[in-house]
């Protein structure tokens, strides 16, 4: 049931100060992709088609790699010169290319030049019913944003380079603490990373029509 006065709980894992993602340590690139897609399939439903692309990043202390750019262009198209869209049918081949150049050169901060991004914009599923939680609608939370998304929206991003990392921005509408704790084990069982207890916020409306948030610890 959708509440007349909307509330929400958000999880941002991890925030920008922590690298904006969960690093999947000791997980190969192909397995990281498989596990992240399985997480989306089990706990979410896409609201738009996923998008994915290879991109070359200018890395301090490293020279550019024009020969890699030519190889990517010959294999997947030229894109805009630095960002090359990857069709669903080419995902396996794109991961194979990353495996071929692994390990990539990196600078003192561990930055490497070639990254693959996969982005899912999703609605979250209620585990008991397998249907989307009601109320996942940004128009219920006018002009309220969290970490680059409108409140009421959720997304998952996977980044593959020399390592795999997942960023999850999840918005659960109208859940009290007891129900949130009841459904979280299903999400954790399917997630390729461990949820942090420190990056959850509850959002409640104010008298002026905006929303305020406070940190909570549901796990």
Amino acid 16: pLDDT: 52
The rounded distance, in Å, linking the Cα atoms of 140 and 3 is 10
First-to-final CA distance of the chain: 24
Mean predicted confidence (pLDDT) in 147-162 = 94
Per DSSP, what are the bridge partners of residue 119? Answer: 51, 157
In the predicted model, is pLDDT for residue 3 greater than 80? no
3-class DSSP assignment, residue 31: helix
Tell me the pLDDT band of 15, cut-offs 50, 70 and 90: low
What average pLDDT does this structure show over 161-176?
94
Backbone torsion region of residue 187, taken as left when φ is above 0, otherwise alpha when ψ lies between -120 and 50, otherwise beta = alpha
Strand partners, 53: 85, 117
Tell me the average pLDDT across 103-121: 93
Which structure tokens are listed for 157?
Answer: 């991003």
Classify 154 as helix, strand or coil: strand
Residue 138 burial by CB count (10 A; 0-12/13-18/19+): exposed, middle or buried? Answer: middle
Q: Quick one: pLDDT at residue 172?
A: 97
pLDDT one-digit tens code per residue, 55-101? 998 888 888 888 998 999 999 998 776 789 999 999 999 999 999 99
Degrees to nearest 5, angle at CA 81 with 77 and 84: 45
User: Residue 209's pLDDT band (boundaries 50, 70, 90)?
Assistant: confident
User: How much is the pTM?
Assistant: 0.92
Residue 81 C-beta-side C-alpha neighbours within 13 Å: 2
């Amino acid at each position: 049931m959708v509440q007349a006065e909307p509330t929400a709980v958000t999880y941002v894992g991890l925030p920008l100060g922590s690298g904006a993602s969960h690093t999947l340590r000791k997980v190969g690139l192909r397995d990281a992709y498989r596990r992240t897609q399985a997480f989306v399939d089990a706990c979410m439903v896409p609201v738009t088609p996923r998008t994915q692309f290879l991109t070359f990043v200018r890395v301090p202390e490293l020279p550019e790699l024009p020969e890699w750019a030519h190889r990517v262009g010959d294999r997947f198209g030229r894109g805009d010169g630095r960002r090359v869209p990857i069709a669903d049918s080419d995902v396996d081949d794109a991961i194979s290319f990353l495996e071929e150049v692994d390990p990539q050169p990196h600078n003192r901060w561990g930055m490497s030049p070639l990254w693959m991004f996969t982005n899912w914009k999703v609605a979250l599923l209620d585990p008991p019913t397998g249907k989307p939680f009601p109320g996942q609608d940004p128009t219920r939370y006018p002009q309220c944003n969290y970490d680059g998304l409108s409140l009421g929206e959720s997304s998952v991003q996977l980044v593959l380079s020399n390592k795999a990392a997942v960023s999850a921005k999840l918005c659960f509408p109208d859940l009290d603490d007891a129900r949130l704790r009841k459904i979280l084990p299903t999400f954790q069982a399917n997630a390729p990373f461990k949820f942090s207890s420190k990056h959850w916020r509850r959002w409640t409306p104010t008298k002026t029509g905006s929303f305020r948030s406070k940190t909570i610890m549901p796990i």
